[in-house]
Amino acid sequence: MAPAFTPAAASAMIGRMSILEDIPHYRRGREFLGVRVPVISGAMTWISTSGLVKAVGEAGGLGVLAGGNMPVDLFAAEIRELRDWGGPFAVNLITLAPNYADHLEMAAKMKVPLLVFAGSFPRKSEVEAARASGARVLCFASTDSIARRMIGYGANGLVLEGSEAGGHIGHVSTMVLLQQVLFAFPEVPVFVAGGIATGRMMLHLFLMGAAGVQMGTVFAMSTESPAHPAFKERFRRARSREAFATPQYDSSLPVVSVRALKNRGTDDFGRLQLKLLQQIEQGRINRVQAQYEVEKYWVGALREAVQSGDVDRGSLMAGQSVGLVDGIRPVKEIIAGLVRDAEKELVTVRRMLCDRD
């Protein structure tokens, strides 16, 4: 019979904070992010403010400031707040946002330690500008070809986000992307997002080669999240199947799918698409203008839900993991629980592999 493993005994034996440090990819993620636990709180517009970023950092993870389309002076103030705090943080830049170019310039000027490009895919010159400022760069990769392109542009690491995630999403599930991207690009750290809410799943992703995980919905429901209590309560009651992806009605108006809880706001978005398609056909607006109206709708609708608590008409962007989270807890408790459950699962895996009797 192989000797029994327990997290406490194993941690004492190896003299480390966690037995998870035995996993090379776990250590790689910690070193890349500069944190105790390679768990990223994904950027969420109106939610991922400096307050939540600091709470995640103090709990051992990495918080990401959501740039969104924040006014540039406010964006700079939030970065300054985090730099004065002195803990680990990253900044998320939305490449489709009207203020994107100014945000990139400001982030580079203020020497942000880690930049995450999101929304769409950055140009090579933009990645190079970020790298030249001293920042490490993370880019999203929704296919293997995009992953290859981002690495070629100079990305230091990748975020693999499956369609189970909340907010703007791609079309491929995490399960497939693990095989297309995670297994195919061992030369860079890959952080996995989309549908993750438990320490058990986190552990198996580390064993498969992930350098860390990114979660959004879990942290949107945290005590420190600035989201309205009604927003959090709606999430607490939601089932996974309620978080559905919005469709694109016609190719003449390409829209990025958004996963959110279905309500009157998602019906409003459907009507907006039809209205914009009609205006495009009549020549009253062009496609770029229509796409801007789409993004303006989502930014406003999300603000109504997050800040005003309008869970009927506001946008309730949530991943399918919303069905796995049924409580509102402090960030420290969330991250400690993830680590505890991951350690417990590692003990189980070791026992399965080592017990030959």
Amino acid at 85: W
Which class is domain 7-227+325-354?
A: alpha beta
Q: Do 32 and 157 touch, CB atoms closer than 8 A? A: yes
Q: pLDDT (tens digit, 9 = 90+) per residue, 292-342?
A: 888 788 878 888 999 999 999 999 999 999 999 989 999 999 999 999 999
In the DSSP assignment, the letter for residue 19 is: G
In the DSSP assignment, the letter for residue 20 is: G
Q: pLDDT (tens digit, 9 = 90+) per residue, 69-123?
A: 889 999 999 999 999 999 999 999 998 888 899 999 999 999 999 999 998 899 9
Q: Which residues contact 67 (CB under 8 A, 6 or more apart)?
A: 43, 75, 91, 92, 93, 94, 97, 99, 100, 103, 107
The single residue listed with the structure tokens 């995450």 is 116
- Enumerate helices (H) and strands (E) in the chain, giving the number of each: 14, 11
- CA–CA separation, 344 vs 287, rounded Å? 52
**In the chain, which ranges are E strands?**
39-41, 62-66, 89-94, 114-118, 136-140, 157-161, 167-168, 190-193, 212-215, 243-245, 258-261
- Torsion, CA 166, CA 172, CA 175, CA 177, rounded to 10: -110
For the whole model, what pTM was predicted?
Answer: 0.90
Amino acid at 129: A
* For the chain, domain boundaries: 7-227+325-354, 239-320
- DSSP H or E stretch at residue 75: helix 72-85
Q: pLDDT (tens digit, 9 = 90+) per residue, 252-296?
A: 888 878 899 999 988 998 899 999 999 999 999 998 888 888 878
- CA–CA separation, 242 vs 245, rounded Å? 10
